[in-house]
Amino acid sequence: MSALGAILGKDLRVELRTLRSLPAMALFATAIFISFRFALDRTSLEGDLAAGVLVTTILLAALLAVSRLFVSESEEGGFDLIRLAPVDRTALFAAKAAALWIYLAALELVAVPLFALFFLDSGAGLLPLVAVLVLVNVGLAATGALISTIATMSTARDLLAPLIMLPLLIPLVIAASGAVEPLLDAGGPGYHHFGRWLAVLGLYDLVFLAVGYAVFDFLLED
């Protein structure tokens, strides 16, 4: 836990000093919302269309952070230091996943109010939306930390990460959209199959957290 805290604290301090990921994610999400606003030529969205726009925007913005997640370790010898340090190597995976979760939460503090401003007539469904976003962030963080490790070992890092990650995220996107859709209905938030979709998101999170924990040592060795 001390190693996890040290790595996570380092990453958060670096991000606060350099602001390399969060401003880019926020600007990217804003640009997507503006693009959808004029491309669809609609002042309000509801149901499946609203869910699709929100979930897709968060997913695409997350890819920006994933592509840079292990850049410092790759360029400054962080992987070699973790291999030599007398600590559990999975602390690096856990710290990077936690950092990515925090980045996503910070992004959503900006992106969700902007989405509501651009597209929603009512904010009644935003409170239960928090539970969905928490689980979505865990899935994105676990998958992103795992795939970013693989991509960083390659010379085609920026290309490889989205190519591998996007197919793996299809179940998460389906479950997230299914959970968000009734919350953004025009008649007010509904909860049709809401618990079932949350369970699917929770299962997805557990699977990729377990896979990341199991294989991260081997990825570092390779």
- pLDDT (tens place) for every residue of the chain, 222 residues total: 677 888 788 878 888 888 888 899 999 999 999 998 888 888 788 888 889 999 999 999 998 888 878 776 666 656 566 666 566 778 888 888 999 999 999 999 999 999 999 888 777 778 889 999 999 999 999 999 888 888 777 666 667 778 888 999 999 999 999 999 988 887 777 777 888 999 999 999 999 999 988 888 777 665
- Which of 94, 120, 64, 119 lies closest to 1, judged by CA? 94
Q: What's the domain range around 148?
A: 2-221
> How many domains in the chain?
1
What the block records as the tokens of 82 is 């973790």
- Which of 72, 69, 128, 151 lies closest to 102, judged by CA? 69
How confident is the model over 169-209, as pLDDT tens digits? Answer: 999 999 999 999 988 887 777 777 888 999 999 999 999 99
Cα 217 from Cα 81, distance rounded (Å) = 14
Q: Are 37 and 118 within 8 A, CB to CB?
A: yes
- Tell me, what's the pLDDT at 86? 61
Query: Hey, which bits of the chain come out as E strands?
Result: none
Plot region of 154 (φ>0 → left; ψ -120 to 50 → alpha; else → beta)? beta
